Amino acid sequence: MRTALWIFGYGSLVWRPAFAFAERRTAWIGGFARRFWQGSTDHRGVPGAPGRVVTLLPEAGSRCFGVAYRVPESDSACVLADLDHREREGYERHPVELRFADGGATTGLVYIATPSNPNYLGPAPLDAIAAQIARARGPSGPNTEYVRELARSLREMPADDEHVFALDGLLREHGAGPEAMRP
């Protein structure tokens, strides 16, 4: 018997999965923290002016909340091919244990960008990250939209994420336009 394919989303997949799924559930994974440390030159920025999107960092004792999607078996190969394309700029698939609010658990896949990929930007002061995000725009829209939609979705779960909420607050405080924040 085959196991269902579950995909864990913790960034744009939270509010814009853009693939067929049979079930959507709020979930969390342990041992990881979400950070805006990955560069985006294909969705939320462009070459020479990358945006910043989230990746996961190993962090003992942390929980990262997001959304788990159960993919119909008939669609799994197509969904994975589409996600591999969508996440092509530095993300790799990793198996994880997904936890649900009802105490249930299952194995799933998550895409993580590691420091070894060429678009990895790494840590920076929060105000510098916010300034870069405020200026960035790519084929998928302004980078500020990514932050706002992720923050909105996490609040609706409800799930707390200090890093995301701090960036969202900085962007709102400064008007979130490219001219509003200077590095």
| Cα separations in angstroms, 150 against 28, 75, 119, 145 | 15, 26, 21, 8
Region 7-32 average pLDDT: 95
Q: Specify the pLDDT at position 2.
A: 58
| Cα separations in angstroms, 4 against 1, 67, 179 | 10, 16, 47
Angle between helices 126-135 and 143-156 in degrees, nearest 10: 120
- Residues in contact with 123: Cβ distance below 8 Å, sequence separation at least 6, in sequence order: 35, 37
Number of neighbours of residue 152 by Cβ within 10 angstroms: 12
Mean pLDDT score across all residues of the chain: 92
Residue ranges of domains in the chain, CATH in brackets = 5-173 (3.10.490.10)
Beta strand 51-71 with 23-40 is: antiparallel
3 vs 119: which has the higher pLDDT: 119
pLDDT band at 176 (very low <50, low <70, confident <90, very high): low
**87 belongs to the catalytic site:** yes
How does pLDDT run across 54-93, given as a tens digit for each residue? 999 999 999 999 999 999 988 999 999 999 999 988 999 9
Region 147-173 average pLDDT: 96
How does pLDDT run across 22-59, given as a tens digit for each residue? 999 999 999 999 999 999 999 999 999 999 999 999 99
CA distance 153 to 67: 10
pLDDT band at 4 (very low <50, low <70, confident <90, very high): confident
Four-CA torsion 162, 145, 157, 90, nearest 10 degrees = -70
Residue 1: pLDDT above 50? no
Q: Specify the pLDDT at position 181.
A: 43
Residue 179: pLDDT above 70? no
135 vs 176: which has the higher pLDDT: 135
DSSP H stretches of helix in the chain: 76-86, 126-135, 143-156, 162-173
Catalytic annotation, pick one of 59, 87, 162, 179: 87
Number of neighbours of residue 162 by Cβ within 10 angstroms: 9
